[in-house]
Structure 1
Amino acid sequence: MSTPKFLALTIKEPKQKTPLTLESYEEPDLGSGEFLVQNVAVAQNPVDWKQLDWDYGVPSYPWTNGGDLAGRVYKIGPDVTKFKPGDRVIAFASRKTPRHSAYQTYTVALENRTVKLPESVSFEAGSTIPLAYTTAGAGFIDALELPFPSLDGPLPAKPNGEPILVWGGSSSVGLYAVQIAKLAGFTVIATASPRNFDYVKSAGADHVFDYNDSDVVEKIRAAAGNNLSRVYDSISENGSIENAVKSITAPSGRVAVILPPKPDASTSTVKVIQTGAIKASQNPDIGKAVYGLLEAALAKGIFVTNKVKVIPNGLLGVNAGFELGRTHKVSGEKLVYRIAETPGLN
């Protein structure tokens, strides 16, 4: 067996302008419920480059970020019972220390934020799931206050075709919001660009409208009838929150958003509530429901994953990927990096 190389893509200072570089580190110690994953593929999220550019959510420097990873269990720590070395897994990296983040060769993962990845799903596709899916699932429960689907038994209070709107159905978060809503029994209305209509319908959307249409709100309201009370806004900027609120046709409603809303976003009848993946960590019941569905759905092969665009050069390709993100050149797909393609790793 070859000697493992522990290398991390490192942010050295706030708002660093020079390219991020690889730095070596010692094999980390493992605490209770922790295990070490040998990363095969990691995926980019918008928050990753924003942390760099905005000096956002970084407690200290040097720092390594990244929330999405797929790989094989390398070593388990105390009290880990669900996984064993060699298992294929995907994990939502906790990012509580640099060693708990994704942009490195090995990541310290937490048992309660990790699920097994079946052979039928590639590491590249699997790496796109954790953060986006967790955000969608947590918002469904926490912000929208809806019963969460389960593949293990009947749903409580099944909505029987009640409409729900997912604004931005082809986004990373929106795609999973569509699928969760469909599994829960909703009639799913979504917005997307026309080139992504078929993609969003393949995930379960019953109606898809162009978010750029001047009459998109009227089309949504017509499709929903007088019973639309829940909206998941997976974009939460550029007027989407206002349109989401206007789309509500029921006497009262709730809109889940993933970015901070304006103070006056809510109205007398519609509540706008920010949500995020952190809710699944803060509330064990939410985490159990969200990850329970994910593992079961993956095992049954019923989830449509995000489209993948592999950026060359492994971890060092993240610099190019961040530039694509900050210049708004990522749409309807997630950027993925194969660790084995990192120059100098082998």
Structure 2
Amino acid sequence: MSTTTCVQLDELQKKPTSFHRCIFSGPSLNSTAIKEEKTSLVSQTEDARQSVLLLKGVREQYTLVNDHTIPAILNPGEILVKVLAIGLNPIDWKAPAFNFGIPSLPWINGRDLAGLVLQVPGENSRVRVGDIVLVPSTDYRDIRKAAFQEYAIATDFNAARIPSSTSIHASASLGVAFVASVLALGVSFGLDFSVLSKSPGPNLPQIISQLDRNDIPADIQDECFASESERPQRGDWVAIWGASTTTGLVTLQLAKLAGLRVICVADVARHGAKLLESGADLLVDRHDTERAVEIIRGVTGGKLRYAIDIVGKDTAALLEKTLDPSGHSHLLGLTGLPKERNPGIRYHTVPIKLFHTAPTVGESMVRWLEDLLESKTLTLPEIVRAEGGLEGINAALDLLRSGSVSGKRIVVGLDS
């Protein structure tokens, strides 16, 4: 069994007492280099506790609890992270509002975080104590990995180290969107990122082919192991409905790296300039939906084969009309797909579980993300900083729910 490396950690997983920040240089909480003094993170008490946001009931707001247990390391490869910033996602308010994605009550939510690594599995871990990392918490059934708490557990193959020149807060908004984008393009559509001339990434179809099918959750096996000989080629068109979202912007950038031509459907007046800067080949305004379908079909000559919807079932049904129905087209819906299916179109959902259940897949993705950030090949989302720490998350989620923050991500800092 490997030894555990920690920052003055007194067997935290058994009986937490105290631990301290290490002195290090890294990405600043204000996007400048930080040099933190060795200050106590948890007071030396008989039983160290943390603050968390608990969801105690459906259709209720989150409740701040100040005496919750610090999550314990239970499995090989796990790390302990001091949460410094939390990126908010629509699921964070939709889950309690519509009662889905909540395994039990009370529960802790939150899918995107960035923070300081306090404990690692051993000397050979790719992540080190003192690293600043971003963590996409896709394993939402494990409450230890939720973002709405002061300390969270992650696996080392799901944590991406943030370069010293990169904003921690902006990084906290990126993780889940990046995971969804890479899996959509690389697994569902079969795009090979290893052939990129700039910042090459993983060949996910090849990595998956070496996995045991039985090691993959049953509900995503067909998506992961479907044989697909006709993969996107340079110059092919892909349409993205909801392109101004963080997932849309990341997907646009990765698709352009792979040499695809990208049609972006969005509010062009509000987001057109940003989409053009990110490489969009064609902008289509989302407000006139019939016209949007006509434009996409006209530009692609009715031969569009790849489309991604990030909005919902209704817009996925509109995108379906833009595709070539001759038997070689693909429609992926992140938040829903049409109920009635066209036999000439293959329908996809993102196999998000693959990221945290297949170590070789997860690690290949976070290593690529590290390279993309280090080389500044990937542009980070524009963010809005919310104040108040954990206690301010309810108000920030109300702002997110209102739709008044469009094309940006709300990030809550816990570093004050």
Q: Does 1:108 align with 2:153?
A: yes
User: TM-score scaled by structure 1?
Assistant: 0.89
User: After the TM superposition, which residues 8-27 of structure 1 pair with which residues of structure 2 at under 5 Å, given as runs?
Assistant: 8-16=52-60, 18-27=61-70
Partner residue, 2:398? 323
Please point out which of 130, 136, 144 is paired with 2:175: 130
- Which whole-Å CA distance do the structure 2 matches of 1:134 and 1:46 have between them? 16
Q: Does 1:63 align with 2:107?
A: yes
Deviations 1:253-308 (A, max 9, x none): 011111232431x2021122222532323445543443333221111101112210
- Identify if the C-alpha distance between structure 1 residues 75 and 22 changes in structure 2 by more than 3 Å, giving closer, same or farther: same
SS in 1 for 2:193: coil
Partner residue, 1:344? none
- Identify if the C-alpha distance between structure 1 residues 258 and 106 changes in structure 2 by more than 3 Å, giving closer, same or farther: same
- Which whole-Å CA distance do the structure 2 matches of 1:259 and 1:69 have between them? 22
Q: CA deviation at 1:124?
A: 0.9
- Which whole-Å CA distance do the structure 1 matches of 2:247 and 2:400 have between them? 16
User: After the TM superposition, which residues 1-346 of structure 1 pair with which residues of structure 2 at under 5 Å, given as runs?
Assistant: 1-5=38-42, 6-16=50-60, 18-30=61-73, 31-78=75-122, 81-93=125-137, 94-149=139-194, 151-152=199-200, 159-194=233-268, 195-213=270-288, 214-237=290-313, 239-249=314-324, 251=326, 252-264=328-340, 266-284=341-359, 286-341=361-416
Q: When the two structures are aligned, how many residues end up with a matched partner?
A: 338
Q: CA deviation at 1:129?
A: 0.7
Q: CA deviation at 1:109?
A: 1.3
Partner residue, 2:7? none
Given residue 187 of structure 2, which amino acid in structure 1 is its aligned partner? D
Deviates more, 1:47-56 or 1:21-30: 21-30
Deviations 1:87-114 (A, max 9, x none): 1110112334322111111211111111
- Which whole-Å CA distance do the structure 1 matches of 2:98 and 2:302 have between them? 42
Partner residue, 2:211? none
Aligned-pair Cα RMSD in Å: 2.4
User: TM-score scaled by structure 2?
Assistant: 0.75
Query: Is there any run of 5+ residues in structure 2 with no aligned partner, and where?
Result: 1-37, 43-49, 207-230
- Which whole-Å CA distance do the structure 2 matches of 1:231 and 1:19 have between them? 36
Q: CA deviation at 1:122?
A: 0.4
- Percentage of pairs with the same residue: 26
Would the aligned equivalents of 1:226 and 1:250 in 2 still touch at CA under 8 Å?
Answer: no
- Identify if the C-alpha distance between structure 1 residues 62 and 77 changes in structure 2 by more than 3 Å, giving closer, same or farther: farther
Q: CA deviation at 1:54?
A: 2.4
Deviates more, 1:282-291 or 1:217-226: 282-291
SS in 2 for 1:340: coil
Would the aligned equivalents of 1:142 and 1:279 in 2 still touch at CA under 8 Å?
Answer: no
Deviates more, 1:241-250 or 1:81-90: 241-250
Would the aligned equivalents of 1:88 and 1:116 in 2 still touch at CA under 8 Å?
Answer: yes
- Which whole-Å CA distance do the structure 2 matches of 1:258 and 1:154 have between them? 22
Give structure 1 regions of 4+ aligned residues with deviation exceeding 6 angstroms: 153-158
Given residue 132 of structure 1, which amino acid in structure 2 is its aligned partner? A
Given residue 63 of structure 1, which amino acid in structure 2 is its aligned partner? W
- Which whole-Å CA distance do the structure 2 matches of 1:82 and 1:284 have between them? 13
Q: CA deviation at 1:79?
A: 7.5
SS in 2 for 1:281: helix
Would the aligned equivalents of 2:189 and 2:232 in 1 still touch at CA under 8 Å?
Answer: no
Q: CA deviation at 1:229?
A: 0.3
Query: Is there any run of 5+ residues in structure 1 with no aligned partner, and where?
Result: 342-346
